[in-house]
Structure 1
Amino acid sequence: MVSANRLENYEVEQEEQAPRDKFNIVYYLVILVGFGVLLPWNMFITIAPEYYVNYWFKPSGKETWFSKEFMGALTIASQLPNVSINVFNLFLIIAGPLIYRVFAPVCFNIINLTIILILAIVLEPSESLMTGFFWVTLGMATSINFSNGLYENSVYGVFADFPHIYIGALLIGNNICGLLITLVKIGVTLIMNDNPRLVAIVYFCISLAILVVCAIALLFITKQNFYHYYHQKGIEVREKAETEKPSPSILWQTFKSCYGQLFNVWFCFAVTLTIFPVMTTATTRGKHGFLDRVLPENKELYTLLTSFLVFNLFATIGSIIASKIHWPTPKYLKFAIVGRAILIPIFFFCNYRADDRIFPVFFESTDVFVFAGIVMSLSHGYLSALAMGYTPSEAPSHYSRFAAQLSVCTLMVGLLTGGLWAVVIENLVDRPDQI
């Protein structure tokens, strides 16, 4: 007998006991699948400051409209299609196994990433190509994130039928992916410091290899009895409750059962994406702090260490902690998440766009910037994992898959909201003659 400890749950008879996840193989493979969820986004934002902004769009080191607008435009081009396909996917019914719903978008992104790699190999920056390359790159980001939105929404829906630690495994994979991509970028930058084009080519090759490994992991998961047991159990629960096909009324009932956690997911990601990466990558070295004296002079390494490494390392730590500690409880989680909004003005008054801003800088030291980054990243990894994990458990078992998909849709809306807020702040801080 299989049942969950929630109201209105439907019990489904099983002829056999649930198979064990031997050696936690499926758990670790799900972490690997989580790599693929955010790899396209992490890939773009990590390489963007060096390769796109400074190498392609700053000829002779001179600021251009393209270099100034690229990070904000990339955020919108990535998150708007993600939101759109996530909303559409709530009502999309594709028959067949996991390979149609999850594996196909991964294959499509392998093709997209191959095209990006070819562009890096054959094209060199020039003013005549700058406009076209700007829009082609944003077009590729849009294409990748349409596909990735389908993948992400579906994969969270699939693993919502599994024990709750498997949703946590996806989130851990998300954050480890960002950390791994950052370490790869730091490594290739140190080795090939004077050749940003070669850095990009090696970086894209490694990213492509990681995505291929994620596809193999997905295939391997579908061969496991453990996967088939929980996948079939979820189908039977929804069939018995007559909720196997999503409809507006079912989604509305699901929303009503977990709207508090959906708000937590939305606001947590909105605050984070307001700050990272648009604000953090535009924050320059400070003065008088300990880190100002010990961090490398190289601008690219400085950004990688203080922005990307700090965020991805501590977000990963936060998500791992959340797999062990579940506090605050669902009822009080909103207070911690809303309280994070104070981080936005803190970053605003660091050395954010120091050369263009009309507002004073209150926190000149890089020590303050990095400490705030650690707090922001650790709290994001921890609180977002709690909110995403709490959401399916707030809904009845026959709505859990829809709750998980709603949480991913809400996550994407939060990312888009944060991207829009970041663009507003970016224009707010500039001198009138710079807008």
Structure 2
Amino acid sequence: MNVTFLVQIALFIIMIGLAFIDTSEWPVVFFWITMIIAVLFNTVNGIFQSCIYGFVAKFPMKYINYVTFGFSFSGTIASIFLIVSLMLSPHPRTVALYYFSFATAFMILCYINEIFLLKNLFFRHYFYGSHHQKSSADNNSLQDTAINQTKSQVEIIIDQDNNKLTMKTFRLVWKKCWIQLLNTVLIYFSSFVVFPAIQAAIKPLDSIVEPKFFAPVFCFLFFNTFASIGNYVAEKLRKPKPAGLIYLVLIRFLFIPFFLFCNYIPDRRTWPVLIKSDYIYILGSASLAFSNGYTSSLAMMYAPKSVPQQYASLSGMMASAAVIIGIIIGVQCSMLFQALIS
């Protein structure tokens, strides 16, 4: 994980450097540099996220949710940085400078924190010596027996004969947790088909805030903040149970037509605007985010606990891959809805 942190910090520093350079004479080159940085950043971040979920799957269930909460709350911090940057300067170049400087400083703090984390006795106890004890909440929800194990080294699921991951192992884990992986894909698809592409293009009808702050506040800040709240509530109220989560996940698909009938791309749309109140839109935005955080936390907690303890790391990484798949499909499909509306 150290490498992923260092690469992300380096990419942010490059973006800060680009903010100082006048790129108006080579826009095509600047575009491709930006695209390459975006691809590298998202690739490295995906690797980092998969590693994190693979590691934390060895821990009690609540720590899996803390990671999910952390990803949501990091978006809240980024949204606050964006809003503060807009308040400090109206010039786009200065905003970019502030924004990426904040991000770089925050990544450096995270890197330092990881160094101390690896020396933490609690972390080493679970990560290096997989001692597994059931909390009373976990006993009531998922597993019938307590498992106590001590292992001499860090390991993912490996075939005992050849020390390699096998297709048989993947199939076994898939059969145990496929419903939670499907839930995860559907949760992130239904969220990211709307956020941010559709929500960011919804224009205000009332004068609640200045127009330039409407999307940063009610799209980006709201989504990440209320998703974090949903993550927290999921830790306290783990309902529905694993088998019933799919029904709540499917209900969330109603958010897609809801936002399409808001004041989305008003200058190009051919469909009528049925949601004519910004307050109703704001309520829908908060509900989308809260339900995203709540259901995603449940799915991410249920997946590793649906398999035997020795398979937890692999199921955690598969759940992380499901997150990425859901986001990619959702973002791509958002363009189809834009074409449909216009």
| Length-normalised TM-score, structure 1 | 0.70
Tell whether 2:85 aligns with 1:188. Answer: yes
Tell whether 2:88 aligns with 1:159. Answer: no
Point out where structure 2 has 5 or more consecutive residues left out of the alignment: 131-149
1:275 to 194, 208, 213: 194
Report the CA distance shift for 1:359/1:229 in structure 2 as closer, same or farther (over 3 A).
Answer: same
Provide the residue aligned with 1:20 in structure 2. none
Q: Secondary structure at the match of 1:332?
A: helix
Tell me, yes or no, if the aligned pair for 2:158 and 2:165 is still in contact at 8 Å.
Answer: no
Per-residue CA deviations over 1:105-149 (Å, capped at 9, x if unaligned) read: 11111111111111012135x3x4333323321211001111111
**Aligned amino acid, residue 151 of structure 2:** E
Tell me, yes or no, if the aligned pair for 1:157 and 1:402 is still in contact at 8 Å.
Answer: yes
Q: Secondary structure at the match of 1:214?
A: helix
Distance in 1 separating the partners of 2:95 and 2:302? 40
1:4-403 to structure 2, matched below 5 A, reads 102-124=1-23, 126=24, 128-192=25-89, 194-234=90-130, 236=151, 242=159, 245-286=164-205, 292-293=206-207, 295-297=208-210, 299-403=211-315
Deviation at 1:209, TM superposition (A): 0.5
Distance in 2 separating the partners of 1:250 and 1:320? 33
Distance in 2 separating the partners of 1:241 and 1:110? 33
Q: Secondary structure at the match of 2:266?
A: coil
Point out where structure 1 has 5 or more consecutive residues left out of the alignment: 1-101, 287-291, 431-435
Distance in 1 separating the partners of 2:75 and 2:156? 38
**Aligned amino acid, residue 116 of structure 1:** M
Deviation at 1:409, TM superposition (A): 0.4
Report the CA distance shift for 1:307/1:231 in structure 2 as closer, same or farther (over 3 A).
Answer: same
Considering only aligned residues, what root-mean-square deviation do their CA atoms show, in Å? 1.8
Aligned length: 319
Per-residue CA deviations over 1:167-225 (Å, capped at 9, x if unaligned) read: 11111111111111111221221121x22211110110010010111111111111112
**Aligned amino acid, residue 306 of structure 1:** F
Tell me, yes or no, if the aligned pair for 2:180 and 2:300 is still in contact at 8 Å.
Answer: yes
Per-residue CA deviations over 1:397-416 (Å, capped at 9, x if unaligned) read: 11111100000001100001
Deviation at 1:368, TM superposition (A): 1.9
Deviation at 1:241, TM superposition (A): 7.8
Tell me, yes or no, if the aligned pair for 1:262 and 1:410 is still in contact at 8 Å.
Answer: yes
Which piece of structure 1 moves more, 229-238 or 407-416?
229-238
Tell me, yes or no, if the aligned pair for 2:188 and 2:323 is still in contact at 8 Å.
Answer: yes
Tell me, yes or no, if the aligned pair for 2:204 and 2:263 is still in contact at 8 Å.
Answer: yes
